[in-house]
Amino acid sequence: MKSIDSIYIKGQFVTPHGTERFTLIDPVTEQEAAQVTLADEVDAENAIAAATATYHELAGSSREQRMGWLARLHEVVAAAEEELIAMMIEEYGGPHGISVATSKRAAASFDQARTLLADYPFERQVASARVRMEPLGVVGLITPWNANYGMICSKLAMAIAAGSTAVIKPSELSARQTEVLTRVLHRAEVPAGLFNVLTGRGDVVGAAFVRHPGIAKISFTGSTAVGKSIARGSADTLKRVTLELGGKSPTILLDDADFDKAMPFIAAAATMNSGQACLAGTRLLVPRARLAEVEQAIVAAFLALKVGDPRDPSTRIGPMVSSTQYQRVQAYIRKGIEEGATLLLGGTGLPDGLERGYFVRPTVFSNVRNDMTIAKEEIFGPVLSVIAYDDEEDAIAIANDTIYGLHAYVFSGDLARANRVARRIEAGRVFINGLYDEPMAPFGGFKQSGLGREFGIFGLEEYLEPKTLLGYEQSL
Ligand code: NAD
């Protein structure tokens, strides 16, 4: 069995001080796949010390230098695409399509940051003042298991573009992907200590980052519950925080939409990344008068999604990441049945034809009320709740009646109407009549879906602090 016994500090793979062993289980076979030695608080301290020393050594690094590091990081990650895809499928059970997309996005994020950096105005005139955008210092990056490479690379790219150094704590469930990615990043030969990577527990290494006075900012992607604890913990040292948290995103199907065209997008939005996606559209809001028609169509669209072996390129839904996640989704399906929702498709247990693995039956509930648990809480599995609305106003009210505000989807035959509805949704991103990707546009949540934004200029500025100079020497 594979054993992972190193962490990455100051450009070197070193044995962690931590001794706790954590077993990784293959989500397809349920067999032990690897053992990892977890980092502890001493390792966190060492990594922060390395990042701090490097930050001071590189202080005043030029735009060109940083563009050079980003170019090299892009090159090595892009060159390792096949290696990365294979490990995401093997460790996480990510279906082939999403594993390819995640790996490409990981590489692209360095190139996007480099492009941004090329003409970002770090100095600008504001009335009589000169304003300089300065790096924050050492940043702590804490990432979840559902898109390990993408989250690590996009946060690291922005931290480097801003002139910071980083300590990174990925999810312990992604230890194998993290090991592969770290070895790939190492090939870029950027200055030692620019980034340091430790796999450890959240409440040990993650919490040590949050407490540490030497860390200026935490960029966190994960659950709303942990995000809140990070915000609370960061208050003591007034750390800057960017929190990318959970969602319960609505998909509004307006009565003038082309239902046949919309349905495959709606099913894909509900089940993306096997349902383990923060932006999944898991509440489908439909005109009450056409509920029966939608029920038939959405079941057909779900039945077209192949569940099973993530290596098969035609598979759309792979296993849940872990037994815990599988049990959590099963509990929500039971809860939906108990609360009186109509089970249209799926249910508890394994999908037909599969005898093991953390696979969930793609599940559609109808006659869901927005106050039911399955409509309120993030399930993080391929489970869709269909909710009927009376008219457009009612649809908007239901869409906004949630603690979350990460994402939304609107389908309509009238683009002007779709835009009007989209403007009234309280969410960080709204997709109209399709699924899109725009990595230069801000990403992040309203309400309890988060704080701050990632990507593009908005994302870069989360890593910068404006400094105002007055009475400055104009010739410099
Ligand atoms: P999680 O909150 O359990 O863990 C995320 C990370 O935080 C992990 O690395 C974990 O070890 C660490 N952590 C746990 N406790 C901590 C603590 N006390 N202090 C510091 N760090 C701690 O989330 P998860 O289960 O890994 O990921 C799934 C969640 O992530 C979902 O809620 C999903 O919606 C969210 N997510 C959000 C986005 C977004 O961009 N908004 C993207 C992907 C995932």
Domain assignment present for 232 = yes
469 CA → ligand 1 middle, Å = 39
The residue whose C-alpha atom lies closest to atom 9 belonging to ligand 1 is 171
> For a pocket test of ligand 1, which of 102, 142, 458 has the largest count of ligand atoms closer than 8 A to its C-beta?
142
- Residues 49, 181, single domain; the answer is yes
pLDDT of residue 264: 98
- Residues 286, 241, single domain; the answer is no
What whole-number distance in Å separates Cα of residue 27 and Cα of residue 474? 62
Q: What are the pocket residues of ligand 1 if the criterion is a CB atom closer than 6 Å to any ligand atom?
A: 142-147, 169-172, 202-203, 206-207, 210, 221-223, 226, 229-230, 244-247, 278, 378, 380, 406, 445, 450
**In tens digits, what is the pLDDT along the chain, a chain of 476 residues?**
899 999 999 999 999 999 999 999 999 999 999 999 999 999 999 999 999 999 999 988 999 999 999 999 999 999 999 999 999 999 999 999 999 999 999 999 999 999 999 999 999 999 999 999 999 999 999 999 999 999 999 999 999 999 999 999 999 999 999 999 999 999 999 999 999 999 999 999 999 999 999 999 999 999 999 999 999 999 999 999 999 999 999 999 999 999 999 999 999 999 999 999 999 999 999 999 999 999 999 999 999 999 999 999 999 999 999 999 999 999 999 999 999 999 999 999 999 999 999 999 999 999 999 999 999 999 999 999 999 999 999 999 999 999 999 999 999 999 999 999 999 999 999 999 999 999 999 999 999 999 999 999 999 999 999 999 999 877 66
DSSP 357: S
Q: Within 13 Å, how many C-alpha atoms sit on residue 433's CB side? A: 12
The residue whose C-alpha atom lies closest to atom 35 belonging to ligand 1 is 222
Ligand 1 atom closest to residue 224's alpha carbon, by position in its atom list:
32
> For a pocket test of ligand 1, which of 198, 278, 327, 454 has the largest count of ligand atoms closer than 8 A to its C-beta?
278
Domain assignment present for 55 = yes
- Residues 256, 208, single domain; the answer is no
**If you search the block for the tokens 């796949």, which residue do you land on?**
33
Domain assignment present for 261 = yes
Domain assignment present for 443 = no
With CA atoms as reference, report the closest residue to 167 among 203, 216, 119: 216
Q: What DSSP element (H or E) covers 294? A: helix 291-303
225 CA → ligand 1 middle, Å = 9
Q: Within 13 Å, how many C-alpha atoms sit on residue 56's CB side? A: 6
Dihedral through CA 334, CA 340, CA 346, CA 347, nearest 10? 20
Query: For residue 317, what are the β-bridge partners?
Result: 307
- Residues 286, 236, single domain; the answer is no
- Residues 230, 254, single domain; the answer is no
230 CA → ligand 1 middle, Å = 10
> For a pocket test of ligand 1, which of 174, 203, 226, 458 has the largest count of ligand atoms closer than 8 A to its C-beta?
226
Residue 450 φ/ψ, nearest 5 degrees: 150, -170
123 CA → ligand 1 middle, Å = 35
pLDDT of residue 60: 82
Read off the amino acid at residue 174: S
Dihedral through CA 297, CA 299, CA 301, CA 304, nearest 10? -140
- Residues 101, 12, single domain; the answer is yes
Domain assignment present for 437 = no
With CA atoms as reference, report the closest residue to 145 among 207, 226, 214: 226
- Residues 225, 287, single domain; the answer is no
278 CA → ligand 1 middle, Å = 10
Residues belonging to the active site? 244
- Residues 343, 381, single domain; the answer is yes
Based on its alpha-carbon atoms, the radius of gyration of the chain, rounded to whole angstroms, reads 23
User: Under a CB-based contact definition with an 8 Å cutoff, are residues 146 and 174 in contact?
Assistant: no
- Residues 198, 276, single domain; the answer is no
Ligand 1 atom closest to residue 170's alpha carbon, by position in its atom list:
9
- Residues 419, 331, single domain; the answer is yes
Ligand 1 atom closest to residue 200's alpha carbon, by position in its atom list:
11
Q: What CATH number has the domain bearing residue 238?
A: 3.40.605.10
pLDDT of residue 21: 98
Ligand 1 atom closest to residue 445's alpha carbon, by position in its atom list:
41
Global pTM exceeds 0.95:
yes
Name the residue range of residue 460's domain. Answer: 2-245+449-469
151 CA → ligand 1 middle, Å = 11
- Residues 137, 30, single domain; the answer is yes
Q: What CATH number has the domain bearing residue 284?
A: 3.40.309.10
Domain assignment present for 369 = yes
Domain assignment present for 273 = yes
- Residues 257, 155, single domain; the answer is no
Ligand 1 atom closest to residue 209's alpha carbon, by position in its atom list:
20
Domain assignment present for 442 = no
Q: How many domains does the chain have?
A: 2
